[in-house]
Amino acid sequence: METEASNANLKFDIQVALKYSLILALCYVTLFSTAKMMGFAQIINIRLINYVFAFIFCYKAIDKVYASKKYTNIYFTGIRISIFTAAFAQFGFAFLLFIYLNFDHSFAHYLVTRMPWDIVMPEFSVSLLFFAEGLAISIITSIILIQYFEWKRRIH
């Protein structure tokens, strides 16, 4: 009985993470497309705006689960949801970026010139680097957000 409840909770958590990660990935793609159309894609640090989006949507995902569990302790669940949300979104974006870079070789070349080392498979390597960066930010975001939700739980 307890395992069924645990599996149902895990299923719900993953569904919430997938929902918000899809929206987050669309935000990433929209920002990249807008930057590309406006000529700002060469400013690589504009991608840092993505992490503001990640913070917002990870917050929303944790909050949805937090509210569904009647504001009980969800410390590790919150960390898991935040990491899943940002990592799934970043994986989706990295995959789409990989496809895009296979068509826009000049932009892929520009990104490779910004790397401090030689790259064997530029399109794949750049996409993998973006995914790794997103995975790292997902961990940082989850640790920050869970502190807020722990504080919120204590004051209820």
Domain that holds residue 25: 2-155
- How confident is the model over 110-127, as a mean pLDDT? 79
CA angle 21, 7, 10 (to 5 degrees): 20
pTM of the model: 0.85
Alpha-carbon gap, residue 131 to 54, rounded angstroms: 13
C-alpha distances in angstroms, 46 versus 61, 92, 129, 142, 153? Answer: 24, 18, 16, 22, 35
Q: Could you report the per-residue pLDDT of 92-110, keeping only the tens digit for each? A: 999 999 999 999 988 888 8
Is residue 17 scored above 80 in pLDDT?
A: yes
Answer positive or negative: Cα dihedral of 47, 36, 25, 72. positive
Chain segment 37-85, per-residue pLDDT in tens: 998 888 878 888 988 999 999 999 988 888 887 666 677 888 889 999 9
CA gap 17, 62 in Å, rounded = 8
Question: How far apart are alpha carbons 103 and 99 in whole angstroms?
Answer: 7
Per-residue pLDDT, 4:
67
Report the alpha-carbon distance of residue 63 to residue 3 in Å, rounded. 24
Q: In the structure, what pLDDT confidence band is assigned to residue 129 with cuts at 50, 70 and 90? A: confident
The dihedrals phi and psi of 65, each to the nearest 5 degrees, come to: -70, -40
- For all residues of the chain together, what is the average pLDDT? 86
Number of domains, the chain: 1
Cα separation, 48 vs 31, whole angstroms: 10
Using an 8 Å Cβ cutoff, are 138 and 58 in contact? yes
CA gap 33, 136 in Å, rounded:
23
